[in-house]
Amino acid sequence: MQNGFMQIIEIIRNAGSSTEVLTALSAYVDSLRDMTALPDWFLQPLRGEADVRERMAVLMGVVNLTSQHLLGAECNAAKRALRVFAEALARLTGRG
């Protein structure tokens, strides 16, 4: 999983446009289907910067919830996803 994680980070970093960032992030989101702590709407394609921010807030809640309930694998997956979303947001806002 670590290899795929780093691969999506690189794809996002090297994306040439906002559309490419959102397309790559949407493909990554599809890979999160096994995370039971995520609401169904989270798995839909992304629509823009505001949507990325909203989903990052959800991921922060998932990290908090899963860490409190000692769900290590889900917590680690949510932390990785949060890092991917942060990288995408940085690219979308011109900071990455």
Domain extents in the chain: 2-92
Average pLDDT, the chain: 92
Lowest mean pLDDT among 10-19, 53-62, 69-78, 85-94: 69-78
Give the global pTM. 0.87
pLDDT at 96: 63
Among the listed residues 2, 3, 53, the one whose alpha carbon sits nearest the alpha carbon of residue 25: 53
Q: Is the pLDDT of residue 3 over 70?
A: no
Q: Looking at residues 10-18, what average pLDDT do you find?
A: 95
Tell me the pLDDT band of 68, cut-offs 50, 70 and 90. confident
Helical H runs in 14-71? Answer: 18-30, 49-68
Structure token digits, residue 72: 């290590």
